[in-house]
Amino acid sequence: MSRTMLQPQGQFPRASLIRRFAAMFYDFMLCTALVMVVTWIYQQGILRLIHGADRLKALAESGALDHDPVLASLVLLSLFAFFAKFWTHSGQTLGMQAWNLRVQNADGSRISLMQALLRFVIAIFSWLCLGLGFWWQLWSKNKATWHDTYSESMTVQLPKGAHKK
């Protein structure tokens, strides 16, 4: 199977931790909005159709909706879809575009859906370990985070304005 090469091509340096955190902040803002929309559609659309407005209000007031596994699954799936779409197509989320970062394979090709899944899961685990998987980049010989290492991908710093071409 041939791999699709990302543009621009070339040997780019690994992304710094500060740039990664800056891009993550941008993406965090977008993901917050995504979670709000998914939650609203689920609660005001789907649950309202199933239970009706009065019953839904009673469920909400009693706290029965506080730990909804269906909503949690939908949110997690939508967040993965957000990152997977960007990483597997252009290699850049919107936050990464703003900070000229890109996720790619060592040869400059797009990552696969399985690599995106590994990146996503390991990145969550990294945050659960108080960000250790990200800080690991400071001690790693090749400046790789845990999710870079386990997904066999890398995050690189593109030249300024490269994503606009």
Q: Which of these, 95, 151, 157, lies nearest to 126 by C-alpha position? A: 151
Spacing of C-alpha 67 from chain mean position: 23
pTM exceeding 0.95: no
Task: Read off the pLDDT of residues 109-158 as tens digits, 9 standing for 90 and up.
Answer: 999 999 999 999 999 999 999 999 999 999 999 999 999 999 999 999 99
Higher-confidence residue: 51 or 9?
A: 9
Q: Quick one: tokens of 26?
A: 């941008």
State yes or no: pLDDT of 163 exceeds 90.
Answer: no
Instruction: Sort strands 154-157 and 101-104 into parallel, antiparallel or unpaired.
Output: antiparallel
**What are the residue ranges of helices labelled H in the chain?**
17-40, 48-51, 53-62, 69-89, 94-98, 113-128, 132-135, 146-151
**Where residue 63 falls among pLDDT bands split at 50, 70, 90?**
confident
Q: Are 41 and 78 in contact (CB under 8 A)?
A: no
